[in-house]
Structures are given as structure tokens and as C-alpha cells.
Amino acid sequence: MSEPPAPTVPASRGEPHAEASTAALPGPLTPGPAGPLVLGIETSCDETGIAVVRGLDLLADVTASSMDDHARFGGIVPEVASRAHLEAFGPTLEAALERSGVRLEDLDAVAVASGPGLVGSLTVGIAAAKALALALGLGLYGVNHVIGHVAVDALVHGEFPEEFIALVVSGGHSSLLLVRDIATDVVELGQTLDDAAGEAFDKVGRLLGLPYPGGPHVDRLAQRGNAEAIAFPRALSRGKDLARHRYDFSFSGLKTAVARVVEGFEDAGVEVPAADVAASFSEAVADVLVTKTLAACGEHGVTTVVIGGGFSANSRLRELAAERFAAAGVELRLPPIRYCTDNGAMIAALGSAVVSAGATPSELDITIDSGMPLTQILAAS
């Protein structure tokens, strides 16, 4: 599978424009032997991602991030993110088309993240996708952003097995899925009941006085610490809690435990052993994620796991998953780190899968679904 480098395009003025057409959108597409040529648009949060794929071959993947604009606020500001998408969309689209060598009129379909995500950010991408689909007479496919984090792995490691377990971990999601068909059949086994893994890392980063976003900083700090220094809790992992929430996650209590440990050192007038706190916290999160994923594999007789989402870039999660899955005879598929954060390739990949499955395109009146359920792969009108 091809994997060209993904340049980052700085945000600049310019909004997408497409001449309106009254032509009806086409029905299900019959892909050619190389697969459908799909434009993928991702604007669910703070990154404007646009990619072009032909089947499972990635032709271009370009991302413009507004992260620096949010860092001074200590978190994502929805209005800032929306304006950044408006400014970056045109240049990012032009760069993706130029890099892929594809013209708009060559495309077979347009796929766009329909949810979950920030309402304003999603609106920019969906409005642009509708304009392109209508002007070009192409099928419009509003797809699930979270499922895209799984689908992107096919661009790297090839077609998925008939059945696998997917662990999606990011700033807003920690979900365990049973996937029988990435385009048509996804079952949610469990999810976070409060903070997601990435969200907990950002909050612990603040507790330790680290810059935003805290996740990468906590990860780097943890590599210098002792993971056994502090015995942090593994929530929903024992007794009645495990029985009721076998595949669910909870990291809010763990974050609180870290806060109490930090306060304890501060109250005692002792320097906080930040590296040990970070390492012990990282170990607790990775342990729970890997343990529950392995349990799902055993119960469902599955021998392949795909891990995706921004937090899948975490070094300890990747190490522990590789170690324990190998010992259990489970194949681990982890996309390269460049595909962990939000990007257009993941939306194009899921769009390609949906088109190849013969799905009927979404209607032009589809709306943003900020809480789109993970069992819904394609947006309905």
C-alpha cells in the first residue's frame, strides 16, 4: 500500500467555492478494478485534513492544524477552530489535489466527517463537501469520524480480516468495538463512562504543570520515570464493577488519584517526583486498555486487534500492547503515528470502504451529528 509523506499546510485566507447545480446526486457507485477515487474531508475538531485515495492506495494526505491557536487558551476553543477551518480549507484542498495529480472532475465520490465532533467545525467540512458533491454530480458520503480512526489502518496494512476488535482511544473517545465489516457492521462493546484516555492525560499534564496539550508531554516525561513507583487504581477492573462494565472504561477517578498524590507531596513540602507520577499514571491507563481489549478478543474468538485514535500514539500503550498481544497470539495492527491524530486519510479510507460496499450515498440534507453513535457508519438524512 502506498504511503506518501503528509505535508502540513499553514492556514491562510480563502474559502472553498463550488458552483451550484440542480443535478440529482448519483446512486450507489460501481467501483473500477483499482477501487473508487475518493476525496476525504476531516474537520471534526482543530485539524483541517483532506486526502485522496483510490481503493486502498493513498494518493495524497494534507493537514492544516490550528493547535497553536488553542494552546494559549489551554484547550480547544470551538469558534477559533471553526474560523481556522474556513481559512485553511481552500489551500488544503488545492494542495491535496496537486499532490495527488487528481482533478476534481476525476473524483468518484466525496466523503466527509459527519460526526462526532464540534458542531461548528463539522459544519465547515459538511458545507464544503455538499457544495463539491452537488457541483460535480458526485455521491456524498457522511461518515463516522471515530470509525475512520480504524479504517485508516487498511491504507497501511491492507484489507481487514473478516472479524476483529478495534480499540479507539483519543482525547474524546475510549471505545472498544467488534468489527465484522468496517463499512456495514460495527458493534460497540464498551466505552468510557467519563474522561477518555487522552482527556485524562491532558488533565494530568496540567496537574504536573506541563504545556497544552498535555498528552505528549506526559508521555515523554513518563519514559524517564518508574512505572511501579505509585500504585494507581485500575477502575472497573474488579468484582462487581467489572461484572457490570466488562468493556467500559473510567479514567476520572484515576485523574483524581493523581491530583491527591501531587497535593500530598506539595503539602509535605517535598518536590513532586513528576516523572514517576507520569510513568505510574501511564502504566495504569495502558494496563486497563490492553487488559480489556485482550478480554474482548478471548470472549469473541478474535485474533486481530486494530488500535487507532490520537492516544494510540502513546509510547507505553504501543509497547504494552505489542508485548501482551504477542504473548497471547493476537495480531496487533497499529497505524503509523502520523495517522493517529485527525487526518483526511481516515475519512477517505472509510469513504472508500463504504463506496466499495455499494452503500447508497447520503442525502444532501444530512446534518451534523456531534454525538453520532459508533454503530452508525454512514449518516442518514
**Domain match, 178 and 305 both:** yes
Identity of residue 126: I
**Domain match, 227 and 376 both:** no
Count helices and strands in the chain by DSSP H and E runs: 12, 10
73 — pLDDT class (breaks 50, 70, 90):
low
Buried b (16+ CB within 10 A) or exposed e, 317-339: bbebbeebbeeeebebbbbeebb
Over residues 318-330, the pLDDT tens digits come to 999 999 999 999 9
Is residue 180 included in any domain, yes or no? yes
Is residue 53 included in any domain, yes or no? yes
DSSP 8-state assignment for residue 338? G
**Domain match, 306 and 342 both:** no
- The whole-number pLDDT of residue 316 equals 98
Number of domains in the chain: 2
Q: Which domain holds residue 272?
A: 164-334
20 — pLDDT class (breaks 50, 70, 90):
very low
**Domain match, 308 and 199 both:** yes
**Domain match, 182 and 259 both:** yes
Q: What is the mean pLDDT of residues 20-37?
A: 64
25 — pLDDT class (breaks 50, 70, 90):
low
Q: Which residue has the higher pLDDT, 371 or 151?
A: 151
CA distance 353 to 269: 57
Q: Please state, for a pLDDT cut of 70, what percent of the chain lies above it.
A: 89
Q: Of 295, 313, 334, which one is at a domain's C-terminal end?
A: 334
Q: Could you tell me which residues come within 8 angstroms of residue 310 by beta carbon, excluding any fewer than 6 positions away?
A: 169, 170, 171, 198, 215, 340, 341, 342
CB atoms within 10 A of CB 124: 25
Order of strands across the sheet that contains 139-144: 57-65, 47-54, 37-42, 109-115, 139-144
Q: What is the mean pLDDT of residues 333-359?
A: 96
Is residue 157 included in any domain, yes or no? no
**Domain match, 44 and 67 both:** yes
Over residues 258-280, the pLDDT tens digits come to 999 999 999 999 999 999 999 99
Over residues 178-201, the pLDDT tens digits come to 999 999 999 999 999 999 999 999
pLDDT at 228 exceeding the cut of 60? yes
- The whole-number pLDDT of residue 348 equals 98
- The whole-number pLDDT of residue 19 equals 31
**Domain match, 8 and 94 both:** yes
**Set of cell numbers at residue 362:** 447520503
DSSP 8-state assignment for residue 230? S
**Domain match, 218 and 140 both:** no
CB atoms within 10 A of CB 193: 14
Handedness of CA 9, 349, 378, 175 (dihedral sign): negative
> Considering just the CA atoms, what is the radius of gyration of the chain in Å?
21
Tell me the three state secondary structure of residue 93.
helix
**Domain match, 254 and 210 both:** yes
Q: How far is CA 126 from the centre of its chain?
A: 18
- The whole-number pLDDT of residue 43 equals 97
222 — pLDDT class (breaks 50, 70, 90):
very high
Is residue 158 included in any domain, yes or no? no
**Domain match, 13 and 143 both:** yes
**Domain match, 179 and 52 both:** no
DSSP 8-state assignment for residue 362? P
pLDDT at 215 exceeding the cut of 80? yes
Q: Could you tell me which residues come within 8 angstroms of residue 327 by beta carbon, excluding any fewer than 6 positions away?
A: none
pLDDT at 306 exceeding the cut of 90? yes
Q: What is the mean pLDDT of residues 61-80?
A: 74
- The whole-number pLDDT of residue 22 equals 33
68 — pLDDT class (breaks 50, 70, 90):
low
- The whole-number pLDDT of residue 279 equals 98
CA distance 291 to 306: 14
Kindly report which listed range (118-132, 297-311, 367-381) carries the lowest average pLDDT score: 367-381
144 — pLDDT class (breaks 50, 70, 90):
very high
CA distance 278 to 213: 15
- The whole-number pLDDT of residue 170 equals 87
Instruction: Tell me the CATH number at 101.
Output: 3.30.420.40
- The whole-number pLDDT of residue 24 equals 47
pLDDT at 16 exceeding the cut of 50? no
Q: Which residues pair with 144 in a beta bridge?
A: 115
- The whole-number pLDDT of residue 173 equals 87
28 — pLDDT class (breaks 50, 70, 90):
confident
Is residue 67 included in any domain, yes or no? yes
| Mean predicted lDDT score pLDDT of the chain | 90
Nearest-CA neighbor of 324 among 293, 299, 302?
A: 293
Q: Which residue has the higher pLDDT, 157 or 70?
A: 157
Q: Please state, for a pLDDT cut of 90, what percent of the chain lies above it.
A: 82
**Set of cell numbers at residue 170:** 483519543
**Domain match, 50 and 102 both:** yes
Q: Could you tell me which residues come within 8 angstroms of residue 268 by beta carbon, excluding any fewer than 6 positions away?
A: none
Is residue 159 included in any domain, yes or no? no
- Residue 233, phi then psi, degrees to nearest 5: -70, 155
CA distance 86 to 17: 11
CA distance 129 to 364: 10
Over residues 84-133, the pLDDT tens digits come to 899 999 999 999 999 999 999 999 999 999 999 999 999 999 999 999 99
pLDDT at 7 exceeding the cut of 70? no
pTM of the model: 0.89
Is residue 269 included in any domain, yes or no? yes
